[in-house]
Amino acid sequence: MTTTSTSRGTWGSRLGFVLAAAGSAIGLGNIWKFPIETGENGGAAFVFVYLICVLSIGIPVMITELAVGRKTGSNPVGAFKKLMPGSAWKMVGGLGVVTGLMILSAYAVVAGWILKYIWFAVSGTLSGKGADEIGAIFTASTSSGWQSITLLLFFLVLTAGVVVGGVQGGIERASKTLMPVLLVLLLLLCIRSVTLPGAGAGVSFYLKPDFSKIDFDVVMAALGQAFFSLSLGMGTMITYGSYLRKDDNLATSAAAVCLLDSAVAIIAGFMIFPALFAGGVDPQAGPGLIFVVLPHIFNNIPFGQLFSAFFFFLVAIAALTSTISLLEVPVAYFVDERGWSRKKAAWLVTLGAFIIGIPSALSNGAVAALTNFRSGFMGEVFNWFGEFSLVIGGLALCIFVGYRWGLKPAIEEIRQGSAEFFASGLWGFMIRYGCPAAIAGILVSKYILPMFE
C-alpha cells in the first residue's frame, strides 16, 4: 500500500473514503438549507440551475480538491505552501480555515434545533398541532437564548468529542447503516407528503420551472448552495483527500459523492414542498421552514411520534458527520502547521466556534438587534461564509490549478490508481476556462454590475 504520509493515516478502504466524504457532504445542507433556498428562489427553476451547477462546476472542483489533497497530504494551507512555496496562495487555504470555523459556529446552532426536535418528538409537544401553532412553538424555542446557547454548546462538544476521541471511524461505520435508513425514511415521507390533500400545488412548484424567475441572485444562490452542499470551496475535500490512498480512483469517487448528495437534496425537496403547500405554509418561511413542515407530515402518519423521533435522530447523525468535517479543517491546520496536539487543536477551535456561535444562537428571536440585522446574524454568517467565501475559494482553486500548479501534474495525480481518467480533457477545460469564467461572471453580475445601475 502506498500512502501519501504514513504518520497521518489513510482511509481503511475506498468505501471508507466515499462514506466519509458523503458523510461530510450530506447533512443539514441537503435537508434544511436546500428546501429554504429552493423556496426563496422560486422553486423548480432554482432546482434546475442547481443541478447544472453541481454537474458542471461541483464535480470538476471536487476532483481538483481531492487531487490537491492527495498530492500534498496536507491541510489547505500546507497544500498551497507545498505546491507553490513562498507564495501568497497559502492565504486561500487560510480563508478556508477561517471559513470552516465560521460555518461550524452557525451550523451547530441549527443542529441544536434538530436535537430539540428529537425531544419534541419524544414528548409529543407538536402532536396534532396545526402549522400556525407549530410555528409559534418553534419561534418560542429559538427565541430562548439560554436554550439555544446550551444546544449549540452541546452539539459542538459532541463534535469535538468524536474528533478528539478518534471514534470518527466508528461514527462513519455506524452511518454506513444509518444513512441508508435515513434515505428509506425520506422516501417514505415523500410518499406521504405527495399524497396529502392539497399537495399538488407543491409538486408543481417543485417540478414546473418558471424560467422567468432566473436572475443572477438565483444563479448565485444555486452556485453557493452547490458548494455548501458538496462541502467544497474551503478545503474540506483537500483535507479529506490528504487521507486518500494512491490507488483510489479520484474521479469516480468525486462523481459518486456529488450524485449521491444531489439525490438526497432532491428527495428532501420532494418531502418538503408538497407538505408545505398541503399545510398552508409560506414557501419563503426562512430558517424555520422544515421545522414547521415536517411535523405536519408526522402528524399525518401512523406512529408519527415514533417516526419523527427516529427521523430527527438520523438527521442529527447526518449533521454530526458534517460538523466533524468542518472541525477537521482548522484542526488539521493547527496540528500540521502549528504543531499543536490534536486534542488541544480540537478543543480550542471548538471554544472559538462556541464564542463566535453565541451571536448566531441569539439571532433567531432572543436578541432583537441580532435578529433584525439584515437577514439576522446567523443568516449573514451563512451568506458570507456558507456561500460567498466558498465560491471565492472555489474560483481561486481553479485559477491556482489551471494556471499555477498546472493541469498536467494535476492529471498525473488524478490518474494514479485509475488506469484511465476518461474525462481528463473536459475536466481540464472546465478548471482552466469553464468554471473560472462561470464563477467570475456570476460574481460580477451579482455584486459588481448592480453598483453601476
The contact set with ligand TRP (CB under 6 A) reads: 24-25, 27-30, 103, 228-229, 231, 234, 236, 322, 325-326, 390
Q: Which is nearer to ligand TRP, 30 or 64 (CB)?
A: 30
Mapped onto helix, strand or coil, the DSSP state of residue 3 is strand
Q: Which is nearer to ligand TRP, 278 or 349 (CB)?
A: 349
Q: Which is nearer to ligand TRP, 308 or 321 (CB)?
A: 321
Residue that is written with C-alpha cell 481518467 in the block: 421
Question: Shortest Cβ distance from residue 100 to ligand TRP (Å)?
Answer: 7
Secondary structure (DSSP) of 217-284: HHHHHHHHHHHHHTT-SSSHHHHHHTT-BTTS-HHHHHHHHHHHHHHHHHHHHHHHHHHHHHTT--TT
Give the residue at shortest CB distance from ligand TRP.
29
Question: Shortest Cβ distance from residue 177 to ligand TRP (Å)?
Answer: 20
Q: Which is nearer to ligand TRP, 27 or 35 (CB)?
A: 27
For residues 269 and 272, give the distance between their C-alpha atoms in angstroms, rounded to a whole number: 5
Max intra-chain CA distance, the chain: 63
Question: Shortest Cβ distance from residue 155 to ligand TRP (Å)?
Answer: 13
Q: Which is nearer to ligand TRP, 49 or 257 (CB)?
A: 257
Residues facing residue 245 across a β-bridge: 3
CA distances from 66 to 251, 260, 274, 289 (A): 9, 17, 37, 34
Alpha-carbon torsion 296, 300, 306, 311, what sign?
negative
Question: Shortest Cβ distance from residue 235 to ligand TRP (Å)?
Answer: 8
Question: Shortest Cβ distance from residue 450 to ligand TRP (Å)?
Answer: 26
Question: Shortest Cβ distance from residue 255 to ligand TRP (Å)?
Answer: 17
Q: Which is nearer to ligand TRP, 241 or 304 (CB)?
A: 241
Question: Shortest Cβ distance from residue 27 to ligand TRP (Å)?
Answer: 3
Burial bucket for residue 236 (CB in 10 Å: 0-12, 13-18, 19+): buried
Residue whose C-alpha is closest to residue 83's, from 401, 414, 428, 334: 401
At 249, list the grid cell.
480512483
Question: Shortest Cβ distance from residue 32 to ligand TRP (Å)?
Answer: 8
The gap from C-alpha 431 to its chain's centroid, in whole angstroms, comes to 22
Q: Which is nearer to ligand TRP, 24 or 74 (CB)?
A: 24
Q: Which is nearer to ligand TRP, 305 or 322 (CB)?
A: 322
For residues 335 and 375, give the distance between their C-alpha atoms in angstroms, rounded to a whole number: 35
